[in-house]
Amino acid sequence: MVDTTKTVRFGILGCAEIARKVARAIDLAPNATLCALASRSKEKAEKFAAENGFPASVKIYGSYDRLLEDPGVDAVYVPLPTSLHVRWVVMAAGRKKHVLVEKPAALDVAELDQILAAVESNGVQFMEGSMWLHHPRTAHIQQLCFVPSSAKSIGPIHFIHSTATMAATPEFLESNIRVKPELDDLGVLGDLAWYCIGASLWAKGYQLPITVTVLPDVKRNSAGVILSITVSLLWDQPIQTLATIHCSFLSHVSMDLVICGSDGSVHLRDFTIPYQETSASFDVTFGAKFVDLHIGWNVKPEEVHVVNELPQEALMVQEFSRLVAGIKDCGSQPSAKWPEISRKTQLVVHAVNKSLELGCKSVSL
């Protein structure tokens, strides 16, 4: 049985496509409930609520302000265009609403710092919507492969490679908010690259790279928004590690993540969005060598399956709600982990932009 006293009541700001997925996740999470939806147009919000089967108990607001004034809302999910994050997250924090914000967290580090100052001074929880971090597969890989004392650690990491690509439709490339400079001028860098940068940082235990370098295949649309980019990140501790990242709205779907250490490697091909909802897998290879004469390998990759009872986005909502309930009901402090992860990701995005401005020169962090 769900302890309803600990159920966190969510409002959603805006009717973005992704809000459909997160509304469902709120419904699935045992400690969360959807209680309000706002759009600048009440008609639009009503239509969205009807189309997505929201229960009649969900209040519909024709303005974001009105939703934020509702004392029955504990937390808001903010899927607005990135350029609007700073305004509405700061506003929400000021009204003591906990905030789950869609990625990228902000347009730049300065805006994110405004956001984080607001959530900190108001004592509310901040989390950004990188769902894959909440899949049990992610923790499973970490425990199996990254813990030095574990029997099967992959050892110090030499190389990380990740991709996040999708073939956007002509309509998307023409009109989606992610390719409109006035709404989200980071383009693919704020959208798909956010995942790959996040995954590289995760693999390196959230150590920041020492340099960030853009490779010379950047593609932009006519408005200058980045549609495709390749980036390399370099670390020098505990050993030199290089990560390459390729992200594109112009290519076939790929979501690869490969991490190669001294003693083993991990391969995923669906790291941001698992092929299916109820389980996911990854391949690990430990102690591979070529057999005599180099006519084969001594081992093949081992496929590890991880079952998840809830989809990763529901697990994200559950974790966020757990933290919110702790603050609300037990006087806990907001967790600093999630703001820190977002800020480090944003710092790397910032460095990528700087490298771009400098004509693909390496930028130190």
Which residues contact a copy of itself (rule: CB under 8 A)?
Answer: 18, 20-21, 24, 154-155, 158-159, 161, 163, 165-167, 211, 213, 215-217, 219, 228, 230, 232, 234, 240-242, 244, 246, 248, 250-254, 256, 258, 260-265, 267, 269-270, 273-277, 283, 285, 288-290, 293-297, 300-301, 311, 313, 362
Sequence-distant (≥ 6) Cβ neighbours of residue 19 within 8 angstroms: 12, 48, 77, 79
Alpha-carbon span 100 to 25, nearest angstrom: 12
Report in angstroms how near the CB of residue 175 gets to a copy of itself at its nearest. Answer: 18
Tell which residue, 268, 221, 282, 249, has the closest CA to residue 164: 249
Q: Given the complex with a copy of itself, which of 125 and 200 has the nearer CB atom?
A: 200
Q: Given the complex with a copy of itself, which of 72 and 224 has the nearer CB atom?
A: 224
Tokens of 143: 């425990």
| Plot region of 206 (φ>0 → left; ψ -120 to 50 → alpha; else → beta) | left
Cα dihedral 104, 67, 73, 114, rounded to 10, equals 40
Instruction: Say whether 180 sits in a helix, a strand or coil.
Output: coil
**Surface-to-core class of residue 223, CB atoms within 10 Å of its CB (0-12 exposed, 13-18 middle, 19+ buried):** exposed
Report in angstroms how near the CB of residue 336 gets to a copy of itself at its nearest. Answer: 29
Tokens of 294: 């180099």
Tokens of 178: 């992610």
Q: Given the complex with a copy of itself, which of 176 and 335 has the nearer CB atom?
A: 176
- Cα atoms found within 13 Å of the Cα of residue 225, Cβ hemisphere only: 25
Q: Given the complex with a copy of itself, which of 116 and 141 has the nearer CB atom?
A: 141
Report in angstroms how near the CB of residue 288 gets to a copy of itself at its nearest. Answer: 4
Q: Given the complex with a copy of itself, which of 62 and 301 has the nearer CB atom?
A: 301
Q: Given the complex with a copy of itself, which of 274 and 334 has the nearer CB atom?
A: 274
Report in angstroms how near the CB of residue 245 gets to a copy of itself at its nearest. Answer: 10
Report in angstroms how near the CB of residue 350 gets to a copy of itself at its nearest. Answer: 19
Q: Given the complex with a copy of itself, which of 33 and 230 has the nearer CB atom?
A: 230
Tokens of 93: 């924090």
Indicate the residue type of 151.
A
Tell which residue, 93, 88, 77, 83, has the closest CA to residue 23: 77
Q: Given the complex with a copy of itself, which of 86 and 247 has the nearer CB atom?
A: 247
Report in angstroms how near the CB of residue 166 gets to a copy of itself at its nearest. Answer: 7
Cβ atoms of residues 221 and 179 within 8 Å? yes
Q: Given the complex with a copy of itself, which of 32 and 164 has the nearer CB atom?
A: 164
Q: Given the complex with a copy of itself, which of 67 and 273 has the nearer CB atom?
A: 273
Alpha-carbon span 289 to 296, nearest angstrom: 9
Report in angstroms how near the CB of residue 293 gets to a copy of itself at its nearest. Answer: 5
Report in angstroms how near the CB of residue 305 gets to a copy of itself at its nearest. Answer: 14
User: Helices in the chain by DSSP H: which ranges?
Assistant: 17-28, 42-51, 64-69, 85-94, 109-121, 136-141, 170-175, 192-203, 312-330, 337-357
Report in angstroms how near the CB of residue 30 gets to a copy of itself at its nearest. Answer: 18
Cα dihedral 166, 170, 176, 178, rounded to 10, equals 40
Report in angstroms how near the CB of residue 277 gets to a copy of itself at its nearest. Answer: 5
Give the CA radius of gyration of the chain: 21
